[in-house]
Amino acid sequence: MPPVIYRALWVVPVTSPVIADGAVLVHDGRIQDIGPWQDIQSKYSDVLVREIVDVLMPGLVNAHMHLELSVFGVTEPEKKESTMCDWIRALLKKRMAAPYTDAEILAAAELAALDQYESGVVLLLDTGNSQLSDFSPSAKTPEIISLLEMLGPSKKAAQIAMKALNAMPTDCAVTGHAPYSTAPELLQYIKNDSRTKNTIFSLHVAENPDEALLLTHGKGCFVDFLKERDAFDGTFPITKSESVIEYLHDSNLLDANTICVHCVHVDTNEIDILAESGSHVCLCPQSNKFLNVGEAPLYKFLDYSILPCLGTDSITSNPVPDMWQEMALLSQRNHGVDAATILRMATLGGARAMQRESDYGSLENGRSANFLLIQDKNLNYVQSEQELLSALIHMGRPGSIERACE
């Protein structure tokens, strides 16, 4: 393809200040130059110019989703005072009562992936208990990194899971589910496999306080939940660890390829451990609100120089899995965090966590041309960088989202 210049009222590089009346030069699927329109025009006067739009910005990165659950729809807590264990029971009951075919599961997952694409997501980390078949060749979806999620809370279940892992193809990326559902030896076995393959290790962590109660004291709702399934065999509590994050650290599970998802119930000592380890944090504010499990301490993460990424989780715990909604809710509940930081979380934060910063997360030379061209009536009257960024994170999904790569 010949080079093209995209011009916009506002260019949002994310890693550098917003450019008013800016432009981006694209060639061979990559960004070749970026700057004020007058500068780009004078350097490349013979290059085709794409009509002006409101905003050019990096695509969104959804760092946590379960596409295979899309077919089950929203799973409402049975009552307001329900625990997270009650919600998991309700979801499992729904899954057992509705044995959808593989084709139906795949079709729902493809529709969910298409919606992510249409919302401006360019990269998505999908985690599932089974491997989805390939989507149809004509399907428009984000680039999807898939992780097969393994569980095994008892020693017996862990041995079965490890045997299954050994029989999997070498190109299969595997991760654990959560510390409460995956025995220590299995988590370590999976993490070693992840290190060998250099794949992402994504884990649900400290989503609710009962997880810490199980690990440190052998108490809380997960004890009854595991006993109901004949999976409570003395593996828990892990008495040498004082918290969930300390347990992960002691088990050598934390490093730059680890994403700790949710992290609602963590203290400053645990955040310090996460920062020292180089691990990443993924927040899912809409899901946390839906399940009433609390809010992650965003201010503290930022104080420790951790830039969290964002995820939507699945539709079962988030009726509208939309990254624009995640940004809006996060801003509403954290008034002191500026809009630029929240936008970085939804773009650069996810790209870093997924080790794809060389392609996504910002508008810089060499990055992918899979960035967004946005038009929306809410952007018609912005007069400054601050007003623009505030509008982007509060207005919801824009009226028109196109992609330079198309």
211, 225 Cβ separation under 8 angstroms: no
Task: Report the predicted TM-score, pTM, of the whole model to 2 decimal places.
Answer: 0.97
pLDDT at 208: 94
The range of the structural domain enclosing residue 25 comes to 4-58+362-403
pLDDT at 79: 73
Number of domains into which the chain is organized = 2
- Tokens 């955040």 sit at which residue? 271
Same domain for 222 and 317?
Answer: yes
CA pair distance 186, 366, nearest whole angstrom = 39
Which token pair is 188?
Answer: 């370590």
pLDDT at 253: 98
For the chain, give the mean pLDDT: 96
Same domain for 36 and 120?
Answer: no
CATH number of the domain where residue 336 is located: 3.20.20.140
Same domain for 370 and 250?
Answer: no
- pLDDT tops 90 at residue 1: no
Same domain for 173 and 271?
Answer: yes
Share of the chain above pLDDT 70, in %: 100
Same domain for 50 and 65?
Answer: no
- Tokens 């300390």 sit at which residue? 246
Packed helices 84-97 and 221-228: angle between N→C axes, nearest 10 degrees: 30
Helix, strand or coil, per DSSP, at residue 260: strand
60, 346 Cβ separation under 8 angstroms: yes
CA pair distance 243, 273, nearest whole angstrom = 11
Neighbours of 330 (CB within 10 A): 24
Q: Please name every residue paired with 332 in a beta bridge, in sequence order, or none if there are none.
A: none
17, 385 Cβ separation under 8 angstroms: yes
351, 361 Cβ separation under 8 angstroms: yes
Q: 397 Cβ partners below 8 Å, 6+ apart?
A: 119, 120, 322, 324, 325
CA pair distance 355, 378, nearest whole angstrom = 33
Same domain for 336 and 370?
Answer: no
pLDDT at 98: 82
- pLDDT tops 90 at residue 99: no
Which token pair is 318?
Answer: 């988030």
Rounded alpha-carbon distances, angstroms, from residue 388 to 54, 369, 382, 398: 10, 22, 6, 13
Helices (H) and strands (E) in the chain, counts: 15, 14
Q: For every residue of 125-138, which 3-state class applies, written as one string?
A: EEEECCCCCCCCCC
| Sign, CA torsion 178/129/154/287 | positive
Same domain for 285 and 306?
Answer: yes
| Arithmetic mean of pLDDT, 168-190 | 96
Same domain for 160 and 79?
Answer: yes
pLDDT at 405: 87
pLDDT at 167: 94
Strands 400-403 and 372-375: antiparallel
Q: What angle do CA 38, 41, 42 make, to 5 degrees?
A: 85
Same domain for 281 and 157?
Answer: yes
Same domain for 175 and 269?
Answer: yes
CATH number of the domain where residue 378 is located: 2.30.40.10
- pLDDT tops 80 at residue 365: yes
- pLDDT tops 80 at residue 178: yes
Same domain for 168 and 244?
Answer: yes
| Arithmetic mean of pLDDT, 236-263 | 95
| Sign, CA torsion 286/288/291/292 | negative
| Arithmetic mean of pLDDT, 191-215 | 97
**pLDDT grade, residue 41 (50/70/90)?**
very high
Same domain for 65 and 121?
Answer: yes
| Arithmetic mean of pLDDT, 223-239 | 93
- pLDDT tops 90 at residue 361: yes
- Tokens 């400053």 sit at which residue? 268
